[in-house]
Amino acid sequence: MDRWYPSSKTCHNCGNVQPMPLSERTYECGECGQTTERDLNAALNLASVPIGKLKPLEP
C-alpha cells in the first residue's frame, strides 16, 4: 500500500474518491450518500486492504 493512498478521501461503501480538505471531519459520499466520520472511514478502507498489498514502514 502506498503511503499516499487516499484512505480518507475514498468512500468505504462504494469506492468513490472525492476531494476532502483536512478541515472536514465527516466524509459525505457524493455517489452513494454514505456519511461517516473521516478517521473511521479511513480505518475501514485500510482494514479492507489485502495483507499482501501492505508495505513495511520506512524510517
8-28 pLDDT per residue, tens = 999 999 999 999 999 999 999
The amino acid sitting at 52 is G
Q: How many domains does the chain have?
A: 1
> Closest Cα partner for 41 from 53, 54, 24?
24
Structural domain includes residue 39: yes
The span from the CA of 52 to the CA of 22, in Å, is: 29
- Backbone dihedral angles phi then psi of residue 41, each to the nearest 5 degrees: -60, -45
Structural domain includes residue 58: no
The span from the CA of 58 to the CA of 39, in Å, is: 23
Q: pTM of the entire structure?
A: 0.80
DSSP state of 42: H
Give the domain range for residue 26. 1-53
The residue that leads in pLDDT, 27 or 57, is: 27
